[in-house]
């Protein structure tokens, strides 16, 4: 299967900062997440992939076309949804998307037809005739997505599409992104600074930080390492014999064969939160039973969403893996 995006030692330097540093990735068709904290180089990469900014060195190909020479051909086949607001408030979604479809080269009649279809697919119905200024953030994001899809591209680049959405809106948007690939047959590159939300949506994740590639692998291999359960317990008056309930729980869980470590990234509060690696469905039961046996209160038990900086704060994958292993070993030895 041919690659959708390939980059080879792609570097982009600005006078004072290196936005991309010898980035080499190979993205296959599907939904691919590009994860990085703010300023990691995600938007710069998208600009280069659209052929809008020249790379300082290295090469990149999108849909088999060279970004340096085939910019217009690439932009004809690719859709782009920017991170920032980009909608004029005084026109309706229909008028706006029709205009953008024509800017992509669609004849007037086809532009109207595709606009009606696309707005329906992203979930905008009657409101599409009203001025965009009155839309909610979720509806605006859908219009932005629609203008990226209206010309039926082979690939869409979505820059932080869940930004500013509430949890429900976020889930809707992620579901929509999934459907762009499964139902529409369009490959997706979606960026986010939240690893957790992309885990559920993407087939493949690419993590960059400071313009360098930290990791590129299938979501399955990613989630193996990152499925964690945050547990917080509280002693109550009935259990005076437990001077240190956290240690007691930790020992018990370790004895039950689970890997436990303190949540180092959460700061002050972190002392009270334990991260338990989820081995299988039974992990939840073990945690529950352990806490109940000790007569403690279970304050928190939640699947943890990682922020990239949390996992990769050293910016080095090998080091990270070592650290995680070491961390586990330490806890196991206690």
Partner 1 sequence: MSVPSEAAAATPRTGVIHNIGYRNYTGPRLGRGYATRSLFVQSLRGAYGLGRSAKSKVLPMVLLAAMCVPALIIVALAVSTDADKLATDYPSYLSNTSTLFGIFLAAQAPVALSRDLRFMTVPLYFSRPLTRTDYVRAKFAAMAAALLILTGLPVVILYLGALLAGMDLGHNTAHALYGLGTAVLYSVLYAAVGLVVAAATPRRGFGVAAIIGVLVVSTTVAGIAWALIGGPTGSPSANWAGLLSPSTLVDSLSTWLFRLPQGDGPSWPPSNGAGIVFLAEFIVTAAASYGLLLRRYRKF
Interface with partner 1 (CB under 8 A): 1, 28-30, 50, 52, 72-73, 75-76, 78-80, 82, 84-91, 95, 99-100, 102-107, 110, 114, 117, 121, 147, 151-152, 181-185, 187, 203
Radius of gyration of the chain (CA): 23
Nearest-5° Cα angle at 19, 192 to 104 = 65
Shortest distance (Å) from residue 109 CB to partner 1: 9
Shortest distance (Å) from residue 53 CB to partner 1: 9
Shortest distance (Å) from residue 314 CB to partner 1: 32
Q: What are phi and psi of 9, to 5 degrees?
A: 50, 40
> Which pair of tokens denotes residue 227?
């499925």
Nearer to partner 1, 75 or 128 (CB): 75
Q: What is the DSSP string of 92-141?
A: BHHHHHHHHHHHTT--HHHHHHHHHHHHHHTT--GGGGSBGGG--HHHHH
Instruction: Give CA–CA dist 285/298, Å, rounded.
Output: 12
Burial category of 226 from C-beta neighbours within 10 Å (exposed 0-12, middle 13-18, buried 19 and up): buried
Nearer to partner 1, 206 or 214 (CB): 206
Shortest distance (Å) from residue 230 CB to partner 1: 27
Q: What are phi and psi of 313, to 5 degrees?
A: -65, -15
Closest CA to 48 of 62, 35, 30, 37: 62
Nearer to partner 1, 132 or 207 (CB): 132
Beta strands 5-13 and 57-62 are: antiparallel
Nearer to partner 1, 100 or 273 (CB): 100
Nearer to partner 1, 149 or 331 (CB): 149
Shortest distance (Å) from residue 100 CB to partner 1: 6
Nearer to partner 1, 125 or 268 (CB): 125
Shortest distance (Å) from residue 170 CB to partner 1: 21
């Amino acid at each position: 299967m041919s690659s959708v995006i390939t980059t080879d030692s792609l570097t982009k330097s600005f006078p004072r900062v290196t936005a991309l540093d010898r980035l080499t990735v190979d993205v296959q068709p599907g939904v691919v997440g590009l994860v990085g904290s703010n300023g990691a180089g995600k938007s710069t990469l998208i600009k280069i992939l659209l052929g809008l900014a020249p790379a300082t060195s290295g090469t990149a190909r999108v849909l088999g076309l060279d970004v340096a020479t085939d910019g217009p051909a690439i932009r004809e086949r690719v859709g782009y949804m920017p991170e920032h607001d980009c909608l004029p408030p005084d026109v309706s979604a229909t008028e706006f998307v029709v205009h953008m479809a024509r800017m992509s080269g669609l004849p007037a009649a086809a532009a109207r037809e595709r606009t009606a279809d696309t707005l329906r697919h992203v979930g905008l119905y009657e409101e599409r005739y009203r001025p965009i200024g009155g839309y909610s953030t979720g509806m605006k994001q859908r219009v932005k997505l629609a203008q990226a899809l209206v010309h039926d591209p082979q690939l869409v680049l979505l820059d932080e599409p869940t930004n500013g959405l509430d949890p429900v809106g976020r889930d809707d948007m992620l579901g929509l992104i999934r459907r762009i690939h499964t139902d529409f047959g369009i490959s997706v590159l979606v960026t986010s600074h939240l690893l957790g939300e992309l885990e559920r949506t993407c087939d493949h994740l690419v993590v960059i930080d400071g313009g360098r590639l930290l990791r590129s692998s299938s979501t399955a291999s990613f989630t193996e390492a990152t499925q964690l359960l945050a547990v917080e317990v509280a002693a109550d008056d009935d259990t005076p014999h437990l001077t240190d309930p956290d240690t007691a729980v930790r020992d018990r869980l370790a004895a039950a064969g689970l890997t436990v470590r303190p949540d180092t990234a959460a700061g002050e509060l972190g002392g009270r939160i334990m991260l338990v690696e989820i081995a299988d469905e039974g992990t939840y039961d073990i945690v529950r039973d352990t806490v109940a046996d000790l007569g403690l209160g279970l304050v928190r038990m939640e699947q943890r969403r990682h922020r990239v900086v949390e996992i990769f704060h050293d910016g080095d994958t090998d080091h990270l893996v070592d650290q995680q292993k070491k961390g586990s070993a330490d806890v196991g030895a206690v």
